[in-house]
Structure 1
Amino acid sequence: MCVKVACVGGGPAGLYLSILLKLRDPSHDITVYERDPEGSTYGWGVTYWRGLLDRLREHDPVSARAVEEHSVRWRDGVAHVGGLTTRHQGDEGFGIGRHRLLEILAARARSLGVRLEFDHGITGENPPDADLVVAADGVGSALRTRHAAHFGTEITTGRNRYVWLGTSKVFDAFTFAFTETDHGWIWAYGYGFGPGGSTCVVECGPETWTGLGLDRADEGEALVLLEKLFSDVLDGHPLTARSGGRAGATWPAFRTLTNRTWSRGNLVLLGDAAHTTHYSIGAGTTLALEDAMCLAGALGDHARLPDALAHYERERRAALLSVQSAARHSAQWYENLPRYIRLAPERMFALLGQRHSPLLPYVPPGLYYRLDRAAGRLETLRRFKRWLGPRLARTAQARRAAGARRMTD
């Protein structure tokens, strides 16, 4: 259907969509535009789970084999809470370097005849001439911003501050480290992505961020402080920042982005340009690749572009509902960390694994832990949890609304 396609953004979503469209119809004229030089991507590693690898194999076994070959895997999760440690076995997870993933996808796209234009920025004022323009240019999408009123873009900012770092320490499990300071708790998520290192995301509440002086520290000072705070899990390895040494490392609050609609004429949003989910569930890259799978399928199955884009948006919105809910509750779990952190480490870690639950915020943590343990053995209690959770959430929402009305009366 689409003869000429322009993908704006050379991340996983744009590259993988170009691959899938070429596999469906080699006659498509496809160009991927990336504003940065080739090989200059930010970050260290990304995570994904077995289900994504299975879907990659279904859509393109060649790139799936390369991705799996260059990934590391783990089954264990480890939590360090103060001086105590607990380890649980979980689902099989994978990590791959972001540079490596993009190299694999770019090489595969080129082999199929996709043109890759690096150092080629596209703005809302100079959109490419194509039958279909795909905005895969991330949360700050210039193409989406140009028509923000049409797309109905909304951004909700979280409470906590975070920074994305790397380390030469190779974690053998998905690692959580919680450290108490005089200004509150600060914690890190660490996971390996290859033989040379790991990703290490550090997060804390705003009071801890300012109390430790991280709001004023330059990049070098912040790294020295964090290396000291997490010395037990880093084993002497340094932390590195994505800015490459520039002063003033930022600690943003996470922005959850949604859009009322995902298309405008022949322009469609993909990946983070359309939606974001909190990094604590590790789903960003997976969702971007699944967007590409769905859009490629819709374009192949529908003769008219409006029908294809409507189908794509409808399918992906439905698929995202549960993920966005899980991400929202996960972010809130960390924002309310003091509620859980004083539990015994094995109990706190168990509730960390349950942080996606809509019921957990409304039940005392100790009771929830016992209920969950029992529910693991009794299907009746599982059904009770599924029934009770939404009702408690609706009751709390109604109380908040009633309180707001009383304040305005």
Structure 2
Amino acid sequence: MKVTCVGGGPAGLYLSILLKRQDPSTEITVHERNAEGSTYGWGVTYWRGLLDKLHAHDPESARAVEEASVRWCDGVAHVGDRSTRHRGDEGFGIGRHRLLELLAARARSLGVRLEFGHEMTADELPADADLVVAGDGLHSTLRGRSADHHGTRVTAGRNPYIWLGTPKVFDAFTFAFVETEHGWIWCYAYGYGAEGSTCVVECAPETWTGLGLDRADEAEGLTLLGKLFERLLDGHPLIGRSTSDGRTQWLTFQTLTNQRWYRDNVVLLGDAAHTTHYSIGAGTTLALEDAIALAAALRAHPTLPGALAAYQREREAALLPVQSAARHSAQWYENLPRYINLPPHRMFALLGQRHSPLLPYVPPQLYYGLDKAVGQVDALRRFKRWLGPKLARTAHTRAPAGRD
């Protein structure tokens, strides 16, 4: 089998690893438009569930990724001058550059051919490729050529946001909300290694324009944001990624969906197939899970059409709850004034519940009370299930001997 993968992100590289492990005779070439070692962003996040899957499918690359990752269990929220910290699930951060470096090295060791520094167009695809993987991101040129067939839909979010870095290393997944005369602005921050952390800054459009961030060049914008998040950064700078004309890269999130994920021998993978709002931290996880599912479908089905159809069915079903969670998470932030004036521990609790489809329709204080009560009921039920067998055993050992 001959496979051409367009896009050398985590999904394309990991798919090439899995296909080579399944059949070393498979000829695989990964084409990446950027030069090797250059990538956007700072760090990515993932959770224990993904790491377990990576260990199950390729232990060698999983060990390398885990060793290069930092981990945390706490979440911290700063709201103005108030703070709260909660213990949560185990999370991981790794530099995007380091993740790609590890996956590329593993792919090469298995015999995958990697080509960097050239954007592969549809006209340049090898005619003898059995499978072409479009892993070239949100703005996929391969998908764009057949957008009508794929049923591509892109929906823009309301709030502007920007990806930034900082040399400060956060020991927890950290949220900071700062009130300005033009409204609230907030930051999501997480460490990815000894070199620093990722910071994603977001605000409402009226706050963005009111603060002048829409008109500021990169230096001016970073200076202003550094002052706003001075308490969070402890004197550390924010680092941007400017365009060639010096403008900062403020964006609005693009939610992408496709009705059909493949055409003939071309299949969509990762962000070329779907995107989910960054506030749930699932982009890299979903891309790698796509690769796992596609490799499994190709192994299980004797024909390519059957394999690609099975891949789409599995991933669409898996994505439904994630896409719903991402949609409600984005809406939570877009309606931040509804929650921000709650006591910090309550606001943080509802921040953790932002995926709920019920939350937007229930008064926040009432939802918090109901959620807490349900949690207590669940805890009581678990305690009773744990206690019941122990009481039964105790009663049995203390009962007088019976007569036969």
Same fold (TM over 0.5): yes
Partner of 2:310: 311
Distance, in Å, in 2 between the alignment partners of 1:231 and 1:245 is: 28
Contact 1:8–1:134 (8 Å) recurs in 2: yes
1:121 Cα deviation (Å)? Answer: 1.0
Distance, in Å, in 2 between the alignment partners of 1:198 and 1:234 is: 11
Partner of 2:161: 162
Contact 1:375–1:381 (8 Å) recurs in 2: no
Distance, in Å, in 2 between the alignment partners of 1:43 and 1:287 is: 17
1:378 Cα deviation (Å)? Answer: 1.8
Distance, in Å, in 2 between the alignment partners of 1:119 and 1:135 is: 17
Distance, in Å, in 1 between the alignment partners of 2:40 and 2:218 is: 16
Partner of 2:140: 141
SS, match of residue 124 in structure 2 = coil
Partner of 1:210: 209
**Considering only aligned residues, what root-mean-square deviation do their CA atoms show, in Å?**
1.3
Distance, in Å, in 2 between the alignment partners of 1:326 and 1:361 is: 13
Deviation sequence 1:69-125 (CA, Å, 0-9, x none) = 000000000000000000000000000000000000000000000000001211233
Partner of 1:338: 337
Deviation sequence 1:173-196 (CA, Å, 0-9, x none) = 000000000000000000000001
Distance, in Å, in 1 between the alignment partners of 2:345 and 2:292 is: 39
Distance, in Å, in 2 between the alignment partners of 1:359 and 1:215 is: 34
1:250 Cα deviation (Å)? Answer: 2.2
Distance, in Å, in 1 between the alignment partners of 2:286 and 2:201 is: 23
Distance, in Å, in 2 between the alignment partners of 1:164 and 1:45 is: 10
Structure 1 residues 381, 307: closer, same or farther in 2, change over 3 A? farther
For 1:51, the aligned partner's letter is G
Matches within 5 A, 1:355-370: 355-370=354-369
SS, match of residue 125 in structure 1 = helix
Partner of 1:61: 59
Give the percent of matched residue pairs that are identical in Structure 1 and Structure 2: 74
Partner of 1:401: none
For 2:155, the aligned partner's letter is T
Which of 160-169 and 127-136 deviates more?
Answer: 127-136
Contact 1:82–1:180 (8 Å) recurs in 2: yes
SS, match of residue 91 in structure 2 = strand
Partner of 1:237: 236
For 2:27, the aligned partner's letter is D
Q: Can you give the 5+ residue segments of structure 2 that lack an aligned partner in the other structure? A: 382-404
1:29 paired with 2:27, answer: yes
Contact 2:241–2:249 (8 Å) recurs in 1: no
Contact 1:266–1:305 (8 Å) recurs in 2: yes
For 2:40, the aligned partner's letter is Y
Match 1:82 to one of 76, 80, 83: 80
1:246 Cα deviation (Å)? Answer: 5.4
In the superposition, the TM-score normalised over structure 1's length comes to: 0.91
Contact 1:163–1:201 (8 Å) recurs in 2: yes
Partner of 2:123: 125
Distance, in Å, in 2 between the alignment partners of 1:305 and 1:156 is: 31
Matches within 5 A, 1:5-404: 5-129=3-127, 130-243=129-242, 247-379=246-378
Distance, in Å, in 2 between the alignment partners of 1:184 and 1:125 is: 49
Distance, in Å, in 2 between the alignment partners of 1:125 and 1:338 is: 50
SS, match of residue 255 in structure 2 = strand
Distance, in Å, in 1 between the alignment partners of 2:329 and 2:79 is: 18
SS, match of residue 378 in structure 1 = helix
Contact 1:72–1:95 (8 Å) recurs in 2: yes
For 1:275, the aligned partner's letter is H
Contact 2:133–2:268 (8 Å) recurs in 1: yes
1:321 Cα deviation (Å)? Answer: 0.4
Distance, in Å, in 1 between the alignment partners of 2:262 and 2:361 is: 38
Distance, in Å, in 2 between the alignment partners of 1:136 and 1:117 is: 14
Deviation sequence 1:136-175 (CA, Å, 0-9, x none) = 0000000000110111100011100000000000001000
Deviation sequence 1:217-256 (CA, Å, 0-9, x none) = 0011000000000000100000011238851112111000
Give the number of the structure whose alpha-carbon radius of gyration is greater.
2
For 1:121, the aligned partner's letter is E
Contact 1:122–1:128 (8 Å) recurs in 2: no
Contact 2:4–2:30 (8 Å) recurs in 1: yes
1:131 Cα deviation (Å)? Answer: 0.6
SS, match of residue 377 in structure 1 = helix
